[in-house]
């Protein structure tokens, strides 16, 4: 559906949230903010970066996350980097996250699933980007769940994606040792707690993040590969509550055969062969190992010491790690540049 443009993009941000962003020194570098309306009535935000003349690229965050993974600071902004390289970049924030509409507006509640992202948010974002750019296809870069969303849309026949990049993503995590496998045991608790308050918990813990070695921080990053202050900023502003329905859907990715589509078929078995997908992974990623990431994609790249990088890469390191701008981003940029969308 047709969207609109906001000069500030703050209409769905509470005053408390705006104070939180100021407290962490967030400096927005998007040139404009656009809103698309989904078929079921949610307003979702697209922060735009770049001159607006190059290939259109949609960046989609992971579970509970937002645009700050792509644009954390001037020196850690993959979104701005791609814009400076000539791409027309749009950082999508799914319903309930970032600048997008939250439950409570218009009586909306935390009652959506991962497949609402697939059927509603993703297509609406593509509609709006194509309208704004006049193009017929986009490139899609997804981190973590944003990559799963890409693959699910492709498996269900989305033809407006010229190419895709997944960063720390898979649709089949079964028997790969993901740290998420231990958390799945807690899934029954979502019947009692909805949404799961990851955002508030993360913000509360942010001032002490990386103060000492611990499994919570290692779940997200390799501590040796990221600036502590920037990581605290990410945990302070980068996460939101998670609807229980989304968690229950994604848990299917850890069962034998991986994520199942609504009709019961395996997502990985439905991926089209004609759409190039680069699967990027890190050797220290506790959420998505290179083994899991290799289960899809036409091309695969792994980042870590054994592959020539100075450090092993964790889950967010490829986006905001100390050396990501020179060790990771050029690979992604060059791969996209070689695949021009009409």
Q: Is 171 exposed, middle or buried (0-12, 13-18, 19+ CB in 10 A)?
A: buried
Q: What domain range includes position 254?
A: 4-337
What pLDDT sits at residue 2? 47
Distance spanning both ends of the chain, measured CA to CA? 21
| Residue 274 backbone zone (phi > 0: left; psi -120 to 50: alpha; other: beta) | alpha
Q: Is residue 159 part of a domain?
A: yes
72: three-class secondary structure by DSSP: strand
User: Rounded CA gap, 112 and 42, in Å?
Assistant: 11
Name 6's bridge partners: 33
- Looking up residue 232, the CATH number of its domain turns out to be 3.40.50.1820
As for how many domains the chain has, the answer is: 1
Q: What is the torsional sign of CA 317, 319, 322, 327? A: positive
Does residue 44 fall inside a structural domain? yes
Residue 41 lies in a domain: yes
- Please state, in angstroms and rounded to a whole number, the distance separating the CA atoms of residues 314 and 286: 7
Per DSSP, the three-state class of 266 is strand
**What count of residues does the chain have?**
342
pLDDT at 10: 86
Residue 141 CA to residue 319 CA, distance in Å, equals: 11
Residue 342 in domain: no
Give the pLDDT score at 80: 96
Q: Are strands 71-73 and 56-60 parallel, antiparallel or unpaired?
A: unpaired
pLDDT averaged over 10-residue windows placed end to end, the chain, 342 residues = 58 94 94 96 96 90 98 95 96 98 89 97 98 96 98 98 98 95 85 94 97 96 97 98 96 96 96 97 98 98 98 98 98 94 68
**Would you state the pLDDT for residue 8?**
60
pLDDT digits (tens, 9 = 90+) for 122-168: 999 999 999 999 999 999 999 999 999 999 999 999 999 999 999 99
Any domain includes 328: yes
Long-range contacts of 325-328 (CB under 8 A, 24+ apart): 325/75, 325/76, 325/81, 327/303, 328/280, 328/303
Give pLDDT tens digits for 203-228.
Answer: 999 999 999 999 999 999 999 999 99
């Amino acid at each position: 559906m047709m969207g609109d443009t906001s000069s500030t993009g703050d209409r769905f941000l509470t005053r408390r949230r705006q104070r939180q962003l100021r407290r962490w020194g967030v400096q927005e570098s998007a040139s404009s903010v656009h809103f698309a309306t989904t078929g079921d009535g949610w307003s979702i935000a697209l922060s735009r970066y770049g001159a607006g003349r190059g290939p259109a690229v949609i960046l989609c965050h992971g579970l509970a996350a937002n645009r700050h993974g792509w644009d954390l600071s001037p020196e850690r902004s993959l979104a701005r980097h791609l814009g400076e390289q000539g791409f027309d970049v749009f950082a999508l924030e799914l319903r309930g996250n970032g600048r997008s509409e939250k439950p409570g507006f218009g009586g909306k509640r935390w009652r959506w699933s991962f497949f609402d992202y697939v059927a509603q948010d993703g297509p609406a974002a593509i509609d709006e980007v194509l309208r704004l750019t006049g193009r017929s296809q986009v490139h899609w870069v997804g981190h973590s769940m944003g990559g799963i969303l890409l693959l699910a849309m492709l498996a269900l026949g989305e033809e407006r994606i010229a190419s895709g990049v997944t960063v720390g993503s898979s649709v089949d995590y079964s028997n790969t040792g993901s740290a998420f496998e231990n958390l799945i045991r807690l899934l029954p608790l979502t019947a009692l707690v909805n949404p799961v308050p990851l955002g508030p918990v993360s913000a509360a813990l942010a001032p002490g993040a990386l103060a000492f070695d611990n499994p919570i921080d290692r779940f997200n990053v390799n501590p040796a590969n990221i600036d502590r202050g920037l990581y605290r900023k990410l945990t302070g502003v980068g996460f939101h509550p998670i609807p229980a329905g989304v968690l229950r859907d994604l848990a299917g990715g850890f069962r034998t055969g991986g994520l199942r589509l609504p009709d019961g078929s395996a997502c990985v078995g439905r991926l089209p062969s004609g759409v190039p997908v680069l699967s990027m992974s890190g050797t220290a990623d506790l959420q998505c190992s290179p083994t899991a990431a290799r289960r899809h994609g036409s091309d695969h790249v792994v980042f870590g010491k054994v592959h020539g990088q100075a450090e092993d890469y964790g889950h967010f390191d490829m986006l905001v790690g100390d050396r990501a701008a020179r060790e990771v981003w050029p690979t992604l940029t060059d791969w996209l540049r070689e695949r021009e969308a009409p």
